Structure 1
Amino acid sequence: MKHIVTGIVAHVDAGKTTLSEALLYAAGTIRTWGRVDKGDAFLDNDALEKKRGITIFSHQAELQAGDLAVTLLDTPGHVDFAAQMEAVLPVLDYAILVVSATDGVPGYTRTLWHLLARYRVPVFIWVNKIDAPGADPAAVLALLQKTLAPGCTDFTLTDAGQLSEAALENAAVQDDTVLTDFLTAGTLSDTTVQRLIHNRQVFPVYFGSALKRQGITAFLAGLQRWTQPAQAAADFGARVFKITHDTKGERLTWVRVTGGTLQARQVVLDDEKANQLRVYNGEKFTLVQTVPAGGVCAMTGFTDTYPGQGLGAAQDSPQPELQPVLTYALDPQGNDIHSCLTAMRQLADEDPQLHVSWSESLQEIRVRLMGEIQLTVLRQMLADRFNLQVDFVQGHILYKETITAAGEGAGHFEPLRHYAEVHLLLRPGQPGSGLVYDSTTSTETLPQNWQHQVLTSLQAKEQLGVLIGAPITDMRITLVTGRGSIVHTVGGDFREAAWRALRQGLMVLASQNHCVVLEPWYDFRLTITRDQVGRAMNDIQRMSGTIAETEDTAGGTLTVLTGTAPVSEMQSYTQEVTTYTHGEGSLEYVVAGYRPAHNADTVIAEATYNPTSDLANPPGSVFVAHGAAYTVNWDKVPATMHLPYVYTPAQLAAMTDEQ
């Protein structure tokens, strides 16, 4: 029997969970039809989900259609829980993208499409609510082809049970070789169509109504006909996509087995064993002794696993692209602060994107979040699971820093009986690329184990910029030379030298005005009545935003404005829109990434950050003379380094020009 793992993703309220329910009902997995609005959906089994009527956590279900077995992973639809959704994508064979026939392609749907491309996930598209007044399948298909990909193809079968001539032609033109064969033969084999789908050249589009179960049988038949099972590796491997705790407090590590076979009591990570293997179907599970390649299960017995981790032969998933942009401080409201910290650390174990941090000196817990809905859910989770009634102080924008030119930083660490020197080349990276580390140093100059110490040390903590002390991003950091001492170099010396080299290079670039503060920006979609357009345009201009497009709706009574604006300015605008439109308008937004701050001078002034006073991140170097260590300030470092600088100012300028 063919087996695939598929996940359902969608913009909130597109009908994602209703589609899951319809598929499970049609396949015979469930006998009772549940509904999101009634709080009895099979996969929304958490009390919080039933209360709020939205999917907050990813859930697993099993169904069978003919000779196809499907592991179905339902994912959160609200943008505030996008981190949980993204964690699921690397374990999918196929994704089902749900699009509402009446809502077009919202910004978050385009974000989902981008993420599916990033993880190379083949996609089936379900156009939901096709029975709604005004729904036009042809117009929706044209919009999908325009905004997502030209390979979006109507897979509605003819009376003969075959794809239409138009569908075959649209599929064929996505690949030159296939098109040549199609022009000769006049048709395409199922195997060829399967390959085009698997290669993300063709995206089957199905139309129906999940609530009325219209088109569900045809969609299941399409999954059965057009999917291919994943090729399994011979050696054992598994990828973690979720951490949870059951009602008894047992820690569960959810994995997709990518190769070999996972067995109960198998040593999987260090000396930790998979004590139990649980295959979940909704909130119930079955204990199994083995899980073959391609299977999904939850394991007990692990304490340090994390989402995205590769086990065995499997590699770690890429760092998630969707990151929180707001930071909040927890107000314990009279509860013991350490009890709050214990609870928050357990929640951070399940969702590392919370980035829970603890300041001993301030006795303060801070957390990073995507938005107000996630904050409300977090507050409720602390109350329900830990009996902690807490609040959170108004959030602040999570700024970042980067560079706009190439520079070389040097760090030296030589207190008595210690020695290490490191030189790093710092170069701007592409927006959204994060931090990339590499080395061009030969092993004759610096042995491999010392190079490894430098690179791992740079990644061991969150490195901060020198303008406001915000995390750095979008940089390529290259080890270009270094020196150690067989006699005096010990474990932490290269760590200290590497950290100081990075900070010293940033200080030099800042002195040359080549460091910038970044802030998160929203892509927004504002729907208002036509007489409110002037007010909205003035507001967006006031918020330092830009309008990319203005479009009247089909009825002519509403206008849709799309564009970008800083999160710092627009995050509280939703309530304002509700007020001045008397509830008739709506504002949707999704984080579009980081861009230069619109008010950088103000942000820097208000931060009052002094990089030379940050004792945890010093930019100076340490030398020794006459049996005593002394510190050299960052601007004097070039004159005191033992190794010459690798690059001249002219060479660094040339690198910048090449960017």
Structure 2
Amino acid sequence: MKTFGIVAHVDAGKTTLSEALLYQSGQLRTLGRVDNQDTFLDPDALEQARGITIFSHAAQFNLGDTPATLLDTPGHLDFAAQVEQVLDVLDYAILVVAGNAPLSGHTRTLWQLLKKYQVPTFIFVNKMDAIGADAEQTLASLQTDLDAGCLPLRNLDDDTKEAIAVLDDDILQDYLESGELSTETIQNLIAHRQLFPVYFGAALKLDGVSDLLEGLSTYTIETPALPDFSARVFKITDDQGVRLTWLRILGGQLVPKQMLGDEQINQLRVYNGTKFTIANQVAPGEVCAIPNLQNTHAGMGLGSLPDAPSPILQPVLSYALDPLEEDLHACLQAMEELGDEDPQLHVTWSKTLQEIRLQVMGPIQIEILTALLHDRFNLTVKFVAGGVLYRETVDQVVEGVGHFEPLRHYSEVHLRIAPGKLGSGLVFDSACSPDVLTQNFQHQILTALQAKTQLGVLIGAPLTDVHVTLISGRASVKHSVGGDFRQAAWRALRQGLMMLRDSGDVLLEPWYRFELVVPTESIGRAMTDIQRMQGEFGQPEQNGELTRLTGTAPVSEMQDYATELRSYAHGLGQLSLVPDGYRPAHDMDSVVATRGYDPKADLDNTPDSVFCAHGAGYPVAWDDVPAMAHVPYLSTEALQQPGLFTSVFGT
């Protein structure tokens, strides 16, 4: 069993190609069309109404005598997190690009994701029947912008064989000596992402589809099964009130009544579009859906497989739900259900503000959520934009101390807080001797630090890219319990951040990588706008009456630029925005002043400590804690050099 996924930028013709592949392989008797709202893999009413894929769907088909699963994925950037979840269960991907347009920024992002997940990839250049389609120009762009291994395989003539052999020195030597290039060699080059076969055609007219199917049949191999039971959950969906856990088996098998953790499998469903059959077992390589499991989540590893790392593509915008006349509790239940299906929504409830908050990629996702709440839950609500999602980090090393000693309790924790690698998130470890704190207490401290979202002290945004090391502490044989160290650890982290608040804490903001196409006479205006938005761009590329500009800019400045573009470009401009990570905020002082966050008033994340005297506990402000700590601070030299911890603490 092989599993293929189709990925593409919106409007490249991905769903049309999916339909054509299923039709040409004999799976469908009639060929549906997106504009007729009758395609096999866009069955949802929301998808049909908007003419875009919103949810990933599965279909079964055959490649010759080999059964295969096809996973269609959303094309719009706002739903890219769903695409990333699917990539981890694919044997091969089919990347669809339009032959009548330049490669989009989203296509480049998809390519980077395919590279991260090491997915062997076939490329189908679609819309070759459209005005402006140019095979040579598109191929050159693929080889320049994506990989030199993007080569057409429709005709395996001598020139093509030589171009393939050049991709590997050993293969080239063998080819020059024998003049032969075996199918197995080509299969291996594809499987190891050295060769990316390119096919040209027009899916709507079924042109080139048979060639692609033949290539998929000839040049793909089945992934060997893992020795022990292993499976990856790649999405959670709802089917008429039934919670479905979708997964792919990578080793072993599943059968009804089998236990997954502490839950029993009551049914195994194999879906083909909206219909499913009930399976007696699911073998390696197969995709299935299990109803009514409650303790699963997208990215979860089952059996011997660990959980997948956090997705690269993260939301950059925050919104709050306005319930209008609806019951707020009913809205929260509905949003939590949607958040279960899409963890990247990060649905939270603010008890203080009595407010439901969520995170999204863009406005199209908000439109879909509004429609889902109405159609599925009979709730009429609206969403209020809450701005961009900032994060906080540090650019200096500091020691943070937390002391928690109310009557009959005792704990003190010392942490080394240092800048982490870009994109590393929060890393917690210990360099503390068990002679200073037992392994049990150390484990409780590290567990506590990971137990909740740690916030910065500038605006209360989530902390990221920080390396936190437990370096010392103190316990009482008589009075210390685990909950004490949770309190001391949280306070130590916040106290250290407060030490850096005026000099070493950094506010991070999300940036977009943009691709802007405007009428050539408007390029001066566009470049001026990007500079005004604190953005960066490369050399403009003119193509006839249009000019293309690519670069990066802060999300806070560019998120509403599409409206401005429509005004001055008179509908001829195009803007593509892709999240491009976090950088120090260009207007940090202004944002901090506007937010007005008071870290000392955030009682759930206090930087202050509690000491005890005369039989009673009393609070001590964060800046007075160092002088009162029971364990001495490290020297500046030792703090800057983690390797010295060994000599200091004997670890």
Range class of TM-score, shorter chain? over 0.9
DSSP-derived class of the 1:593 partner: strand
SS of the aligned residue for 1:592 comes to strand
For 1:185-219, what per-residue CA distance to the aligned partner results, in whole angstroms no more than 9, with x for missing partners?
33332222222222222222221111111111111
Q: Secondary structure at 1:549's aligned position in 2? A: coil
Change (3 A) 1:448 1:34: farther
Residues 410 and 424, structure 1, Cα contact 8 Å, conserved in 2? yes
For residue 257 of structure 2, the aligned residue among 247, 265, 268 is 265
Structure 1: runs of 5 or more not aligned: 158-162
Aligned to 1:399: 390
Farther off after superposition, 51-60 or 562-571: 562-571
What do the CA deviations read for 1:525-556 (whole angstroms, capped 9, x no partner)?
Answer: 11111111122222222222222230101xx2
How do residues 235-384 of structure 1 correspond to structure 2 at under 5 angstroms?
Answer: 235-247=228-240, 249-269=241-261, 271-384=262-375
Number of the residue aligned with 2:102: 104
The alignment partner of 1:276 has SS state of coil
Give 1:611's aligned residue.
599
* Counterpart among 526, 530, 543 of residue 540 in structure 1: 530
- The Cα of 1:324 is off from its aligned counterpart by 1.0
Residues 119-518 of structure 1 correspond to what in structure 2 (within 5 A)? 119-157=117-155, 163-247=156-240, 249-269=241-261, 271-511=262-502, 513-518=503-508
Secondary structure of the residue aligned to 2:478 is coil
Q: Which amino acid aligns with 1:466?
A: V
Q: Among 634, 646, 649, which residue is 2:636 paired with?
A: 649
Match of 1:160 in 2: none
Amino acid at match of 1:508: M
Does the 8 Å CA contact 2:441/2:482 hold for their aligned counterparts? no
1:18 aligns with 2:22: no
What is the total number of aligned residue pairs between the two structures?
A: 643
Deviations 1:65-110 (A, max 9, x none): 1132211111111001111111111111111111111222211111
Structure 2: which amino acid aligns with 1:54?
I
Check whether the contact 2:41–2:59 (CA below 8 A) recurs between aligned residues. yes
TM-superposed deviation, 1:466: 0.8
TM-score normalized by the length of structure 2: 0.95
> Is 1:574–2:562 an aligned residue pair?
yes
Q: Is the Cα–Cα contact under 8 Å of residues 272 and 301 in structure 1 kept in the other structure?
A: no
Match of 2:41 in 1: 43
Task: Map Cα deviations across residues 3-40 of structure 1 (whole Å, 9 max, x no partner).
Answer: 21111111111111111111100111111101112111
| Superposed CA RMSD | 1.9
Give the 3-state SS of the residue equivalent to 1:449 in structure 2: helix
- Residues 259/645 of structure 1: CA separation in 2 closer, same or farther (3 Å cut): farther
One-letter code aligned to 1:124: F
CA deviations over 1:330-356 (Å, ceiling 9, x no partner):
111111111111111111111111111
Mapped to 2, the partners of 1:410 and 1:79 lie a distance apart of: 43
Which secondary structure does the structure 2 equivalent of 1:424 belong to?
A: strand
2:468 and 2:12 map into 1 onto residues whose CA distance is: 42
Deviates more, 1:25-34 or 1:197-206: 197-206
Query: Offset at 1:519?
Result: 1.0
Greater mean deviation of Cα atoms: 412-421 or 314-323: 412-421
Identify if the C-alpha distance between structure 1 residues 454 and 528 changes in structure 2 by more than 3 Å, giving closer, same or farther. Answer: same
Identify if the C-alpha distance between structure 1 residues 650 and 461 changes in structure 2 by more than 3 Å, giving closer, same or farther. Answer: same
Q: Which moved more, 1:297-306 or 1:17-26?
A: 297-306
Find the residue that maps to 1:367 and give its secondary structure: strand
Shift in Å at residue 651 of structure 1?
Answer: 4.9
Once the two structures are overlaid, the 10-residue window that deviates more, 62-71 or 37-46, is 62-71
1:325 Cα deviation from its structure 2 partner:
1.1
1:600 corresponds in structure 2 to 588
Describe the shift of the 1:339–1:206 C-alpha distance in structure 2 as closer, same or farther (beyond 3 A): same
User: Could you say which residue in structure 1 is the equivalent of 2:577?
Assistant: 589
Alignment deviations for residues 607-647 of structure 1 (CA, whole Å, 9 cap, x no partner): 1111122111111222223322223322233333333345x
3-state secondary structure, aligned to 2:296: coil
* Pair 1:183–1:412, CA change in 2 (3 A): farther
Relative to structure 2, which stretch is displaced further, 148-157 or 383-392?
148-157
How far has the Cα of 1:486 moved from its partner?
4.3
1:78 and 2:71 are equivalent in the alignment: no
The code of the aligned residue for 2:255 comes to Q
- Tell me the amino acid that sits aligned with residue 238 of structure 2: H
Residues 508, 181 of structure 1: CA spacing in aligned structure 2 closer, same or farther, 3 A cutoff?
farther
**Counterparts of 1:130 and 1:390, CA distance in 2:** 43
1:445 CA drift (Å):
4.3
Asked if the contact 2:416–2:639 (Cα under 8 Å) also holds between the matched residues in 1, the reply is no
Q: Residues 327 and 369 of structure 1 are in contact (CA less than 8 Å); yes or no, is this contact kept in structure 2?
A: yes
Q: Deviations over 1:576-605 (max 9, x none)?
A: 211222211111111111111111111010
- What is the distance in 2 between the residues matched to 1:77 and 1:196? 27
Measure, in 2, the Cα distance between the counterparts of 1:623 and 1:277. Answer: 57
> 1:374 and 1:408 mapped to 2: Cα distance?
42
Question: CA separation in 2, counterparts of 1:268 and 1:27?
Answer: 35
Q: Is the 8 A contact 1:276 1:301 kept in 2?
A: no
Relative to structure 1, the CA distance from residue 545 to residue 300 in structure 2 (aligned partners, 3 Å threshold; closer, same or farther) is same
Q: Which amino acid aligns with 1:273?
A: Q
Give how far 1:406 is off: 2.5
Indicate conservation of the 8 Å contact 1:405/1:653, yes or no: no
* Corresponding letter in the other structure for 1:376: E
User: Unaligned 5+ residue runs, structure 2?
Assistant: 644-651
Distance 1:579 1:16 in 2: 30
Equivalent AA in structure 1 for residue 564 of structure 2 = E
Percentage of identical aligned residues:
58
